[in-house]
Structure 1
Amino acid sequence: MTIAVPVADFLVLPPRPDSTAELLAESARRRGLAVEPLPSSAVPARLRRAVGGHLYGGPIFAGVVAADLDLALLEPADDWLARLPYEYTRRDITLTTLGEARWSRTPMFVKPPRDKTLTAGVYADGTRLPGNERYPAGTPVLVSEIVTFLVEYRLFVLDATVHAASRYATNGRLDPAPLDACAHRAAVLDFAAGLLDACADSLPSAVVVDVGLASNADRGDEHWAVVEANMAWFSTSYAANPDQVLDVVLRAAGPCHRLAPRDQAFTRPPTPAG
């Protein structure tokens, strides 16, 4: 079931829309929303401060466009993953800075908490991390133990419930499939239900959470764990139902006047134009 929206609503897309943006555009048109692909981050005067705007696009584009459209962009806190109970992560995770991580002399997995400017991956030690003007020492990063995920799933979450989902990787390789077609469907939903029940207040009402089946070679066991959380308005849908994904995106990047009080703590400040 999809969620009805006012007919005055419209969806703004970035200059170079990806496959997810194209699927969302088709879904938006089917339900009567206008779709507005922008040639740049400059918002036309006819849309500026218009009522009912939403967007899908990258953080830089979204930060600028949101200011002109008066949008509230929902995203998880940078330290959400690091604050999760161990039973949901099954590995030690620390939110630190790139400058601090460069001092490490042990292998580690490093990723930015939200923006994708730094390539996430395994680094032999801190000396292998980038160190130029594009990556200042104060850049926040999540540093964790190295784990192997056998299979990974993307969950589009709305009001602490899995609203749409897809497998996206197997053994580290892209392998999209609808959740309903996957053997792990019940296990994924069971793990997600426990996680979202325990952590509902620490996430925005519309968000993406990735989970996976991890393998620990030292202990010889397998267990479900959270991979990360991301902004729904900048997440690939893979094989998830685009109509249901759109429901989550519309809430995650919508008009400020519709922002629920419980989501105020999860809004990204808009980037001033110019």
Structure 2
Amino acid sequence: MRAYVQKHHGEFTNINTLTAFLGFRDKGYEVRFFEFHEIDLLELSADTPVAGGIPVVVAALARLGIAVPELSSIPSVLESFAGRKVWASTMQQARNLVAEGASIFVKPVPADRKLFAGAVFREFRDTIATAHVPPEYPVVCSDVVEFVSEYRAFVLDGEILDLKHYKGDFRVFPDVRVVDNAVSAYRAAPAAYGIDFGVTTDGRTLLVETNEAYSLGCYGLTPIFYSTLIERRWHELNGTI
């Protein structure tokens, strides 16, 4: 078995690729490292999972003729768990709403998560960090909700492997019954994915978003679990499970 793990100037790109390496190594894989510019030189197949940033994994899958399906940040079947209005928009429409006095949360579409950091826009100065984003660029908007803590559930074949804190007060834990119900309701889910929940100032546990497993923040998940998620989703996208 062989797996590829991205590096940058000879170093792990972040804790995620380090964790993936440790997991694949412990699972018995021959791990080969590569730099982004070497993606076209890799000996890829359906059985060679790739761990790296989203553009890297998408490029690797494209080499195998696979177009990655877009995973909705909040699938329609889970809208009731969000506890707020969520809608597709454009950057210009979001800017216009702010100019009219609205406060909204804006983030990139899932395919371009790194374009800018999701943020609350309450006034013009809040939009300055997105000045490089074209007006017609698609974004996801939602009503503003104040979360005091946020956790990620890592899901494999419909079962939650673990919950990891990644933002806010770690002492404020989500209602696991809500998390379980959301995972159970998401019957059309990928074989492996992440799903984030936040606890609001008034104590509600709400869905933040879902995330693809092929390139996912590990937030302290054990290497074996983390590499298994990447492996499982890679095989699913390649049609080998």
TM range, normalised to the smaller chain?
Answer: 0.7 to 0.9
Corresponding residue for residue 103 of structure 1: 96
Corresponding residue for residue 184 of structure 1: 173
CA contact (8 A) 1:109 1:120 kept: yes
Report deviation, 1:73. Answer: 4.6
Q: Structure 1 CA distance, aligned partners of 2:81 and 2:237?
A: 32
Report deviation, 1:22. Answer: 0.5
| Stretches (4+) displaced over 6 A | none
Q: Structure 1 CA distance, aligned partners of 2:75 and 2:190?
A: 16
Partner SS, residue 94 of structure 1: strand
Report deviation, 1:224. Answer: 0.7
Q: Structure 2 CA distance, aligned partners of 1:256 and 1:222?
A: 37
CA contact (8 A) 2:2 2:32 kept: no
CA contact (8 A) 1:210 1:229 kept: yes
What aligned pairs does 1:42-61 form with structure 2 within 5 A after superposition?
42-43=38-39, 45=41, 47-61=42-56
2:81 aligned with 1:81, yes or no? no
One of 45, 55, 63 as aligned partner of 1:68: 63
CA RMSD of aligned residues (A): 2.7
Q: Encode CA deviations 1:191-232: one digit per residue, 9 max, x unaligned.
A: 12111221221x3221111111112xxxxx321100111122
Corresponding residue for residue 200 of structure 1: 187
One of 17, 20, 42 as aligned partner of 1:21: 17
2:21 aligned with 1:32, yes or no? no
Give unmatched runs, 5+ long, in structure 2: none
Residues 183/97 of structure 1: CA separation in 2 closer, same or farther (3 Å cut): closer
What aligned pairs does 1:69-148 form with structure 2 within 5 A after superposition?
73=68, 76-77=71-72, 80-81=73-74, 83-104=76-97, 105=100, 106-114=102-110, 115-125=113-123, 128-130=126-128, 132=131, 134-148=132-146
Report deviation, 1:48. Answer: 2.8
Partner SS, residue 109 of structure 1: strand
Give unmatched runs, 5+ long, in structure 1: 1-7, 176-181, 216-220, 261-274
Q: Structure 2 CA distance, aligned partners of 1:192 and 1:21?
A: 27
What aligned pairs does 1:131-170 form with structure 2 within 5 A after superposition?
132=131, 134-170=132-168
| TM-score using structure 1 length | 0.74
Q: Structure 1 CA distance, aligned partners of 2:46 and 2:140?
A: 37
Residues 126/66 of structure 1: CA separation in 2 closer, same or farther (3 Å cut): farther
- Residue identity in the other structure for 1:88: F
- Residue identity in the other structure for 2:187: A
Q: Structure 2 CA distance, aligned partners of 1:157 and 1:74?
A: 18
* Identity of matched residues, %: 21
| TM-score using structure 2 length | 0.83
Report deviation, 1:26. Answer: 1.0
CA contact (8 A) 1:157 1:163 kept: yes
The count of residues paired between Structure 1 and Structure 2 equals: 232
